[in-house]
């Protein structure tokens, strides 16, 4: 579109060309002017209206504030209701933990009163359900109380766990597992006997299990291999340290499958029966020693779990 300007002041007519872009820019500028004017008018009106305490302005502002306050209170109530419900669930779970802890505590001889709380003490009483609605202050108090209870329960269950772990470790380290697997029998017990080679009375410091060459020998308990080497009297000898001065020996083996420094599990295969060293035939000579002093292995093997050994054949 073209606009021609004609004036007596102009020496010649002027032509102005208006494109579509010019029209769009003009409309945008007009819209911005209208918005800015409306915003300025509203701000001036509200500001001066509040200063002058105009009824209609105060009513409008109060209405907006009341609506926003109602929305905030609604959201707060919903959040408090959800948290209250969760508190009830946590309290129910706490009761289950109390029951479990009491049952486990009876087994290991640890009572809840053995655990001393940190800052809170002497709490108890009947269970009272949490009200449907709690104030923020009441909610904080409930959360603090629950946190304290969880801390005490955690310490109590931690003591039980430590006691059970200690008992398990102690049990695992006692040589109560039969050191041979199937097809063997006790041919010579612990104590004074007639020596099979000299035919004179001599102290036998272990138990002999007769078996075919190649019969599996297993660790009587978990421990660390102290030595696995040749000995003039014992032949191929394995010695395992089970801690606190308790050791076991496995003598006359035909083959050994562990080396010094190895950690072995209870029932793990460590060797095979043979007739090496001072021996008259294939058998396992098994010893238990405390601080180097020989003990009667039968005292430990009376509690051997034969079912576990049979399952590992």
Interval 18-59: pLDDT, tens = 666 666 777 778 788 877 877 766 665 656 555 555 565 566
Q: What is the mean pLDDT of the chain?
A: 77
Instruction: Report the sign of the C-alpha dihedral through residues 129, 134, 138, 144, in that order.
Output: positive
**pLDDT tier at 242 (50, 70, 90 boundaries)?**
very high
108-131 pLDDT, tens digit per residue, is 676 665 555 544 444 555 555 544
Upper half-sphere CA count for residue 289 (Cβ side, 13 Å): 15
d(CA 112, CA 98): 9
Per-residue pLDDT reduced to its tens digit, 160-169: 777 777 777 7
Supply 83's token pair.
């948290």
Q: Report the distance separating Cα 88 and Cα 93, nearest Å.
A: 9
Residue 88 has pLDDT above 70, yes or no: yes
Q: Give CA angle at 73 (70, 76), nearest 5°.
A: 150
The CA distance from 273 to 26, in Å, is: 105
Class of domain 185-311: mainly beta
Element (H, E) at 230: strand 223-231
From the number of C-beta atoms within 10 Å of its C-beta (0-12, 13-18, 19+), residue 152 rates as middle
96/149 Cα distance (integer angstroms): 13
């Amino acid at each position: 579109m073209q606009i021609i300007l004609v004036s007596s002041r102009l020496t010649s007519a002027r032509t102005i060309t208006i494109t579509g872009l010019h029209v769009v820019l003009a409309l945008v500028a007009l819209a911005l002017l209208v918005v800015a004017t409306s915003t300025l008018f509203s701000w001036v009106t509200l500001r001066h209206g509040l200063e002058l305490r105009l009824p209609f302005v105060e009513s409008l502002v109060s209405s907006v504030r009341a609506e926003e306050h109602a929305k905030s209170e609604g959201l707060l109530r919903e959040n408090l209701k959800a948290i209250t419900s969760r508190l009830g669930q946590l309290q129910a779970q706490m009761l289950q933990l109390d029951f479990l802890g009491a049952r486990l505590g009876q087994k290991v001889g640890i009572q809840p009163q053995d655990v001393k709380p940190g800052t809170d003490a002497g709490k108890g009483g009947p269970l009272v359900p949490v009200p449907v609605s709690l104030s923020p202050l009441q909610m904080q108090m409930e959360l603090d109380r629950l946190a304290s209870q969880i801390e005490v329960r955690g310490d109590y269950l931690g003591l039980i766990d430590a006691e059970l772990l200690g008992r398990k470790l102690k049990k695992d380290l006692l040589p109560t597992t039969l050191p041979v697997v199937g097809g063997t029998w006790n041919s010579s017990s612990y104590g004074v006997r007639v020596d099979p080679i000299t035919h004179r009375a001599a102290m036998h410091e272990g138990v002999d299990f007769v078996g075919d060459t190649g019969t599996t020998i297993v660790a009587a308990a978990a421990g660390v291999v102290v030595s696995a080497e040749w000995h003039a009297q014992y032949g191929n000898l394995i010695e395992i340290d089970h801690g606190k001065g308790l050791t076991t020996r496995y003598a006359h083996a035909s083959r050994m499958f562990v080396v010094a420094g190895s950690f072995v599990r209870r029932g793990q295969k460590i060797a095979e029966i043979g007739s090496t060293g001072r021996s008259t035939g294939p058998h396992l000579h098994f010893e238990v020693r405390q601080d180097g002093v020989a003990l009667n292995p039968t005292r430990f093997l009376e509690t051997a779990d034969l079912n576990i050994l049979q399952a590992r054949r």
